[in-house]
Structure formats: C-alpha cells, structure tokens
Amino acid sequence: MIRNEHLDLAVAQGILTADQAAQLRTLAHESTADASSADHRATLNPDDERFRLIGGFNDVFVTIGIALLVVGLYTLFSAFHFEPGFALFSIAAAWGLSEVFARRMRLALPSIALALMLALGAGFGGVALGKLISQPFAGVVAALAILLGAVLHERRFGVPVNWAIGAVALSFAFVYGLGLLAPEIVERAWYVLFALLGLTIFVVALRIDATDVKRETRRSDIAFWLHLVAAPMIVHGTIPVLVGAPEGMNVAQAFTVLAIYAVLGLIAIVIDRRALLVSGLLYAGVALGYLFTEKVETSFASSLTLLALAVIVLAISAGWRTIRRALIPLLPLGALKQSIPPAR
C-alpha cells in the first residue's frame, strides 16, 4: 500500500509533482470514505427499524435546555395571566432555536423537541384566537394552528416528526369540526372515527415505506413517526368497538383481545414495524391479567401478567428476523411483497 511517505519521496525524486501528490491523497481519502460508507450501509438491516434520535450527549443537554425554556416561559406568562404571550414567545423561540440546532447543527433530538415546542405554542395561540372568534371553535382553530406550524416547520427545517404532529392535528381538526356540525355522530361513533383516522395515517405511512423498503432515507423516519401515532389510534379505537370496555371483560372477550393482538403482531411483522405491537400491549396485559385472576389471587396474577408480557416482548424482539424469514415466504402477499423490507 502506498503511504504518505512514499508520495513525499516521489515528489522529492521528481516522479510526481506536489499537485499530483495532493490529488492522489485526496483520491485515496475519498475512496476510503466511500468504502467505509458502503460497508456501513451493508451492515444496516431494515428489520432494526433505525431512526435518528440521539447523536451524542450534547443532544440530551440541549433538549434539557429546551424543556427548561418551555417550563420557564409557561410559568412566567401564567404568573401574569397572559397565555397568548406564552404562545408567541414559544413559537418565536422554537423557530429561532431551530435555525441553530435543526438547520445548522442538525441535532436530531433537539429538533424533535423544538418541533413539539412550536406545536405547543401554536396550540395555545390557536385556543386563544378561537375563544376570540367563538368558544366552540377553539378546538378547531387550535388544531389548524398546530397543523400550520408543523407544515411550515417541516418545509423550513425538514424534521420528520412534523408529519406525525400534522397528522394528529388534522385528525383532531376533523373530529372537532364534525362535532360542531353533527355532535350526535361524534358522540356515538367516537371510537370508530378514531380508528378510521388511524387507519388513514397508517395507509399513508405504508405508502411512504414502500418508497424506501431498505430504510435508508429520510422517508423511513417520516413513516416511523406516522406509524407511531397511527398505531394507538387504530388499537384504542378498534378494540373497544369489537370487545367493549376492559372493565367488563369476560373470558370470551379476553381471548378475543389476545386474538386481535396476534393479528396485529402478524401485520407488524409483515410490514416490519413494531408500533402496533407496542400499542396493543395494554389490552393484551388486561386480557392476560383477567385470565390469570380467574385461576390465582389478584396480587399473584399481576406479577404473572407482567412476566408474561415481558416474555412476549423479549421473545418477539430476539426472534424478529427469524420469524420474518420463516413467515413471509408462506404468506400470499403478491405485489405487496415488493413494498415491504426483504426478510433476511
């Protein structure tokens, strides 16, 4: 291998010029960097569901500062009973800090915190503005203000979590608006609406996932956050409709909940996203707890429930890739197989 001292010797003996030696050093450095990057991409597996969160402890340090700033601004303006001031200063501070930490320094966790801070400020501002228009419109205006803030922040700083913030805000704007037009429909079909909106976000996330099945681009982060908000909406909207309230559960309903959780687990494994499994853990725990209390006393049943959930989570986590490799070839996925990460 040619080293720097060899190039220096070649220049001294007139074999190469100084410019040629510098160009060779640059070429060698770029080739090594490209090879390292290729090796790194080769070691990444879509099954790991990677997304950018923390690049170093500085991310955590900055995020703590942002949290302190939010609390400080809220307590300050609450003391003066001037909540709109909190909204204005939160939005201005979040935008200004995003110019530094999101656009220039590209810190992942602070960027997420600042996106949430701006959404919080926009929500407070929307409530204040909505009350000026009409008290019943406060919820709609607040949701639309959060949506507008998320869209503008995303276009300027490209923080993926803004897609999830915007999706949730749009969902609540729809529900609040429908509640003003037809309150009886919202009252009777709240869970159904919640589930349908979650399914809509879930489909959008799947479409985005299909454009990056290897999970190598920013689109994968966007889909991750959309799945994260869609999953609880689907689970907590669907299970109460199909089974009823957990408080009045019987044996048949408990097994139904576990069957639904198994279906959600199958979908999660196929699409290679764990959010559905996490969101369904609460209901699975309630169902297991009920079944255990039928056999043993309550205190002991609680311990058994936690242990059973731990075994389920750890077993699925450890065998995730193996399960996908064994399961996906057996399913009649058809064209859908081209839109999900390969099982490997």
Could you tell me which of 48, 41, 43, 42 has the C-alpha nearest to residue 320?
48
Domain-wise residue ranges, the chain: 50-188, 234-344
CA dihedral angle for residue 150, residue 187, residue 246, residue 202, rounded to 10 degrees: -30
Are 20 and 319 spatial neighbours (Cβ–Cβ below 8 Å)?
no
214-229: average pLDDT: 90
Distances (CA, A) of 74 to 31, 60, 63, 115: 52, 21, 17, 17
pLDDT at 35 over 50: no
166-189: average pLDDT: 92
CA distance 96 to 111: 12
Distances (CA, A) of 193 to 136, 237, 301: 20, 8, 34
The residue count of the chain comes to 344
CA distance 13 to 7: 10
**pLDDT, tens only, 96-150:** 999 999 999 889 999 999 999 999 999 999 998 888 887 888 999 999 999 999 9
Distances (CA, A) of 16 to 7, 12, 19, 177: 8, 8, 8, 74
Are 201 and 233 spatial neighbours (Cβ–Cβ below 8 Å)?
yes
pLDDT-derived band at 17 (thresholds 50, 70, 90) equals confident
State the distance between the two ends of the chain, measured CA to CA, in whole angstroms.
36
What Rg do the C-alpha atoms of the chain give, in angstroms? 26
**pLDDT, tens only, 50-105:** 666 677 788 899 999 999 999 999 999 888 888 788 999 999 999 999 999 999 98
Find all residues with CB under 8 Å of 282, minimum gap 6, and list them. none
What pLDDT is attached to residue 93?
Answer: 96
Residue with the larger pLDDT of the pair 151 and 274: 151
Scan for tokens 């205006």, then name that residue: 141
**pLDDT, tens only, 227-277:** 999 999 998 888 888 877 666 677 888 888 889 888 888 989 888 888 888
What pLDDT is attached to residue 330?
Answer: 86
Are 87 and 121 spatial neighbours (Cβ–Cβ below 8 Å)?
yes
CA distance 146 to 138: 12
Quote the Cα angle for 336-321-279, to 5°. Answer: 75
161-181: average pLDDT: 94
What pLDDT is attached to residue 38?
Answer: 42
**pLDDT, tens only, 293-336:** 877 666 777 888 888 889 988 888 888 888 888 888 888 888 78
Residue 209, both tokens? 């996932």
Quote the Cα angle for 100-84-75, to 5°. Answer: 75
CA distance 151 to 174: 17
